[in-house]
Chain A
Amino acid sequence: GENVEQHPSTLSVQEGDSAVIKCTYSDSASNYFPWYKQELGKRPQLIIDIRSNVGEKKDQRIAVTLNKTAKHFSLHITETQPEDSAVYFCAASRDSGYALNFGKGTSLLVTP
């Protein structure tokens, strides 16, 4: 089955700096790569996703890049704010009809 590795497990940045989280996956048939944000005590919520026919996608301060050849994808958060502090999960799946396989998560702390 799919195996998703995520790094780093913890990340601390100063407010205004950028944060980068990286993931690798093992199943070459995976073609859907979402990122979820989970605040303390809350449910995971989708923040951005990318499909294998696209190399990069951006939504305001958040961007995701995908390298299908190398089987890795990354989340980039620019101009970080304290409210960005949360656990971020990457995931991969074969899209419709298949379950998401999640990385172990990255705990991001943005200090004022």
Chain B
Amino acid sequence: DAGVIQSPRHEVTEMGQEVTLRCKPISGHNSLFWYRQTMMRGLELLIYFNNNVPIDDSGMPEDRFSAKMPNASFSTLKIQPSEPRDSAVYFCASSNWGGRSTEAFFGQGTRLTVV
């Protein structure tokens, strides 16, 4: 397996534009997590899904952020409209809930810059 795949790796956008980040979890994993990493706040959990169902979205900063998981192999995190304070590295991670190992595997991350 290629691991968790995120796209794009880098995104530079202007304030007010819509941004969509994409994630393909490891095949067979049934839990998917979106994290945001900044120097000030570290790794913050934004939202997570079990079996494609959102379980906890209390970490989503505000209504400008939304996430979907239409099927077991794909998830998106959308920011609309984007603001400079959204600049961060966004990580997607997946794990096998109920499996022998609950290790969370991270994707390479998307570095978002909003100017």
Q: A-side interface residues toward B, CB under 8 Å?
A: 1, 32, 34, 42-46, 49, 89, 93, 95-97, 99-105
Contacts and interface: CB of A to CB of B under 8 A. Distances in A.
A104 B103 contact: no
Name the prevailing secondary structure of the B interface residues. Answer: strand
Interface stretch (B11-19, B40-48, B67-75): B40-48
B101 to A, nearest CB: 9
Contacts of B91: 43-44
Interface of B: 31, 33, 35, 41-43, 45, 48, 50, 55-56, 58, 91, 97-98, 102-109
Contacts, number: 49
A49 B103 contact: yes
Contacts of A100: 33, 45, 104
Contact of A44 (B50, B56, B106): B106
Given A44-B106, A99-B48, 14 more contacts: A1-B58, A43-B106, A95-B102, A96-B98, A97-B50, A97-B55, A100-B33, A101-B45, A102-B35, A102-B42, A102-B43, A104-B41, A105-B42, A105-B43
B64 to A, nearest CB: 21
12 contacts: A1-B58, A43-B107, A46-B104, A89-B43, A96-B102, A97-B50, A99-B31, A99-B33, A100-B45, A101-B45, A104-B42, A105-B42
A45 B43 CA distance: 13
Contact of B106 (A45, A95, A96, A101): A45
Given A1-B58, A102-B43, A97 B98 contact: yes
A100 B31 CA distance: 11
Contacts of B107: 43
B109 A43 contact: yes
A45 B97 CA distance: 18
A74 B35 CA distance: 23
Contacts of B58: 1
